[in-house]
Structure 1
């Protein structure tokens, strides 16, 4: 039975013998580095009441990172930072006209100028979830800080764009209830599938949208079973609706391999296991990955085909990959599974936050894993 019903959040770090004082000290240190350290922070204040997270590898602000930052802040009870990030998002990223009215531009320069006029659906789903949690944890305010209304409006746009003369395309396929890589496109991204979010959207979205999200939760769990290799557990960055890897090269590259986006799939399955414990077969995925990668961290240094064939492409985000595999440990229940998972969690525990230009994505995934593995990534 999951934490949604029991209210009990698994602290895997404590289970394997790490003292609670050490866990809390690590969280405090990581938060300071991520948000406030002058040399290593990802978060930056802007003016008197706004803030943004910088993708340090590309020197821009992305809805991925902005919505991630809001989720971290609501989990950590950091309301001021949450509101600053949200106001920056609404001021600079939110689109009020055109084909994508009601969505957020996926990339902006750090001065707020839009780099694109298209959205990335993983941003919208994290925005909505973080806003619901903020409403329940801190209460709704006024205007853009009426968090629950803002969340419902985001989700309404995500599934009703294109209806009744409204411009644009939805972020979910209405036939199979799968989230799309971008609105209107004919494929998905396995790491966008967040059934544990959709279960909650089914409770808190507009009345007419609740049934859709309940069906989306079931569809995503079933999809993840098909999208992740039955032996290796690896998923592609982009996937066809039937679960097969993207099998053609797109104008911006080939994305049918297990690479950066795909790392998040195991972490999502781990968190879903904690929150809802509803297994359609996806629970085995992180365990298969741990077995595939084996006994050495050297295995996480290159990219792979989903069948486990190594490629010549090096991993850009080794700490991110390690963090997501470690978060996947939350599915482990038997003594044998826990022993397998413990190795990966200890490897994660012994790694510091990444420094340097590429630290943004790695450290976001590290922060989520640290919160989840300590029992501090919760439903509010």
Structure 2
């Protein structure tokens, strides 16, 4: 077994273990199916975490006061909002997975079928899979270290709440990993298509320059037209996967990225509070501070990997448009080959690749820079409010 297969298998079984995945599939046959084992286990796991959360948070325990007992009220509000959003997003993710079960199975079936048809994609995705696996594993490991460190400073009655928070964090992290893996697969497929399209363009130039024998010319033109039709078919399938992924992850993606945004603002304010009051006055230890900021680094790195994956897919799509633009240099081609070029070009123009969040927010470099600007502005406003009122 190669490294990529091992890592993909680890991600697959870990998703089943934590209760995020509620169906199974076979990499070798491409079969996507439900079973009593996976269904009952997912029902039991998801019900358990939901019941435990209801039991814990309906009690009188206030874990925020226990951990940040010496912090000001604004800091407590920030922590409560960030934690509440993560819990809500995690529970919604579990519930929504059942609602979208059939759509997720259909999406998975399409991805696995294309993977089986072009197995070289796995080898081309090796570094992307490895980097995401390391980033996600370190993020979960640091989260566990923070939980264990916190357990040494709080009463035993808070242990359940800390454990549930870790469970939710793992679920959200794995949901991001699954989305990333699909986007990585799509990106690698686009890179492979662009390579094949370049080869077709080079061969077309060669055919155009050497057309002494009409029979050979027609045969090669028909072969190139077949290749272009295959490229158009695969590109359309990839477009369908991206659109379906966008719909399946729409609300969850909005909540997760909203959590990243609020966490960024909250982390900026936390750093300011530590510099202003000192970590001792916030009931924190030096080891806790180090662990928290290390976790923040890998947490945001993990999110950036997903973001860059979506941006690079759009870059590869635009590269395909640029490569295809060279077809205007060709004259006197076979009618079928010329139609194949025209059909692929019209397909790309009529159905452009766009990645949106809940059909409201376009994921582009410009919108990302605008969000970063807003994030900095809101962080400054929050710090100014603290300086004026606390």
- Under a length normalisation based on structure 2, what TM-score does the superposition of the two structures give? 0.25
Pick the structure with more helix per residue. 2
